[in-house]
Amino acid sequence: MKRTNRFAALAATLLAAGLAHADSYPTRPVKLVVPFAPGGTTDIVARIVAAKITPFLGQPLVVENHAGAGGAIGAMETARATPDGYSLGMATVSTVATNPAMLPSTAKYDPVKDFTPIVNVAATPNVIEVHPTFPAHDYKGFIAELKAHPEKYSYGSTGTGSITHMQMELFKAQTGTSMIHIPYKGAGPALNDAVGGQIPILLDNMPSSFPFIKQGRLIPIVVASEKRVPGLENVPTLAEVGLPQVNRMAFYGIYGPKGLPPEVVAKVNAAVKEVLKDPEVRKRIEETGSVVLGNSPQEFAAQIRNEFEVYKNVVKTQNLKPE
């Protein structure tokens, strides 16, 4: 009887401590690790949210950039953090799906088991585009040219295991086409070579490519987006051309290490959603070419599981190996 009473007392103490933590968290600034260099869309979205969240979270959200290994270094830091809510991270398709699917020896974490999803903030369309010298400037002609000349054309990506690499491999698998992969060390070098004509095909985030598309220096063929992109109304989505599985946008969410207390998850989720109601915040995110999301932890967890499974299957079916 005494042991039962001790267990009951212990349970009550832990419950009270958890409730107290929920009421007091956070009592100091919260770190938000961006696993890429400053200036990219992930970093921009993180800083837009961080700049407005203090009134709703009760403490500042301090952005720190820990880049390297395609986002794996920053992701591993978040996975290994103490699960007290004071060290969170930005999650992208590269860090939670393509990189661990393609390069598990580099991304030494399980994207499903080693994190606590909190909220998906925003998502950005991707675009398959060609240099103006490419023989076809529309989707039908693009596919016909690729099928008529297997392995003739190369495409650039932001690196082996990146979303731009893996999404194009998914495209190849779904369309039965064959192209040579040219990995670059980031979006900038790949985009420069595509604009310069050193590579004929590129899959890129819409925000970085859009200025070159408007100038006619790159020709958009098809976009990965929920709907057609404003300003490119004549360019179909991948879903419209019969490739719904490839019609996947790049996303930018917030997660923490596994074991994050539910009350912390709820507090951060609610604070981010309040920030996303701000018209100025929505405008700034949309100006990056992104769409505002703001979903539940459960919905974000399902998105992560789905993306990881999709790209694990791509690695298997395409027989992809680290380059």
Mean pLDDT, all residues of the chain: 92
Rg of the Cα atoms in the chain: 21
Is there a domain that residue 11 lies in? no
| Token representation of residue 92 | 């992208």
- Contact at 8 Å (CB) between 168 and 181? yes
Same domain as 137, residue 75: no
pLDDT digits (tens, 9 = 90+) for 162-217: 899 999 999 999 999 999 999 988 888 999 999 999 999 999 988 889 999 999 99
| 42 contacts: CB under 8 Å, gap ≥ 6 | 34, 35, 36, 90, 92, 252
Same domain as 212, residue 157: yes
Quote the domain boundaries for residue 211.
126-224
Same domain as 160, residue 219: yes
CATH of residue 214: 3.40.190.10
CATH of residue 290: 3.40.190.150
Q: Burial of 60 by CB count in 10 Å (0-12 exposed, 13-18 middle, 19+ buried)?
A: middle
Same domain as 62, residue 211: no
Nearest to 171 by CA among 84, 205, 163: 163
> What percent of the chain stands above pLDDT 70?
93
What beta strand segments (E) does the chain contain? Answer: 30-34, 61-65, 87-92, 115-124, 126-130, 154-157, 180-183, 201-205, 219-224, 250-257, 291-292
Is there a domain that residue 237 lies in? no
Same domain as 144, residue 111: no
- Inform me whether the pLDDT recorded for 14 exceeds 60: no
Same domain as 267, residue 210: no
Q: What is the pTM of this model?
A: 0.84
Is there a domain that residue 48 lies in? yes
Same domain as 103, residue 187: no
